[in-house]
Amino acid sequence: MKYLPFERITYKTNLSEQEVLTRLSGFVEPKKFGLGRNYIKEYEGSIHNNSFEISKVIQYRNSFLPQINGRIQNENNGAQIQVTMSLHAFVFFFLIVWCSFAVIFFIGVSIRAIREKEISVELFLPLGMLLFVYALTMIGFKSESKQAKEYLRRSFDAEIVKE
């Protein structure tokens, strides 16, 4: 999963499930819509009984911002928090469509190159497009997920037991 815009992390903390939910409430506010949204807290989203769906509040554009889903489970001496970070569903769908067009373009250019028995610069254009969108996605996603992972670890006084 290291090379995909997707992460699963398990945190272990000495806090109880209720204490984890209380701390979540301290840095998560309900999602706001419309113009002039003023946020006070670092994250927005929703908190349910023992789960949450949040994303970081940012003042800049990043379509690859991780959507963070978590589940809290009580354990003997604390709680375990299982977190999944992934792309927004619409962004993921857009990337699939965009990459599909690039692959179709590559196939068409490859067929033409085989027929004409000559390799042109056009053959490498769709590969460059795919490489560019991959790099853009991974840089945008991983930089934010790394910050979120550390923020959650500190907020819950937890240790990461599984990545």
Q: What pLDDT does residue 119 have? A: 82
Tens-level pLDDT at each residue, the chain (163 residues): 678 899 999 999 999 999 999 999 999 999 888 766 778 899 999 999 899 999 999 988 999 999 999 999 999 889 999 999 999 999 999 999 999 999 999 999 999 888 988 888 888 899 999 999 999 999 999 999 999 999 999 999 999 998 8
Measure the CA–CA gap between 54 and 84, rounded to whole angstroms. 11
Q: What pLDDT does residue 39 have? A: 81
> What token pair was written down for 101?
């067009």
Q: What pLDDT does residue 36 have? A: 66
By C-alpha distance, which of 133, 151, 132, 161 is closest to 23?
151
Q: Reduce the DSSP state of residue 28 to 3 states and report it.
A: strand
Residue-wise over 20-43: b if at least 16 C-beta within 10 A, else e? bbebbeebbbeeeeeeeeeeeebb
